[in-house]
Amino acid sequence: MVRIVIVDYGMGNLASVRNALRAVGYDPEVTDDPAAVAGADGVVLPGVGAFGAGMQNLARRGLDRALQQAAAAGRPILGICLGMHLLFAAGEEGGLRPGLGLLEGRVTRLPGGVRLPQIGWNQVLVRQDHPVFDGVPEPLWAYFDHAYAVEGEAPSTALALTTYGRTYPSVVGRDHLLGIQFHPEKSSRAGLAMLANWGRMVCDLSSTRRST
Q: Has 81 been annotated as catalytic?
A: yes
* Beta-sheet pairing, 158-164 with 118-126: antiparallel
DSSP element (H, E) containing 180:
strand 177-180
Q: Which of 85, 146, 185, 203 does the annotation list as catalytic?
A: 185
Q: Which of 93, 151, 183, 203 does the annotation list as catalytic?
A: 183
Specify whether the CB–CB gap between 130 and 169 falls below 8 A.
no
Q: Which of 29, 81, 93, 151 does the annotation list as catalytic?
A: 81
Q: Distance of alpha carbon 174 from its chain centroid, rounded?
A: 12
Q: Has 185 been annotated as catalytic?
A: yes
Q: Has 203 been annotated as catalytic?
A: no
Bridge partners, residue 77, by sequence: 43, 177
Specify whether the CB–CB gap between 91 and 50 falls below 8 A.
no
Q: CA–CA separation, 171 vs 144, rounded Å? A: 12
Residues with a catalytic annotation lie at 81, 183, 185
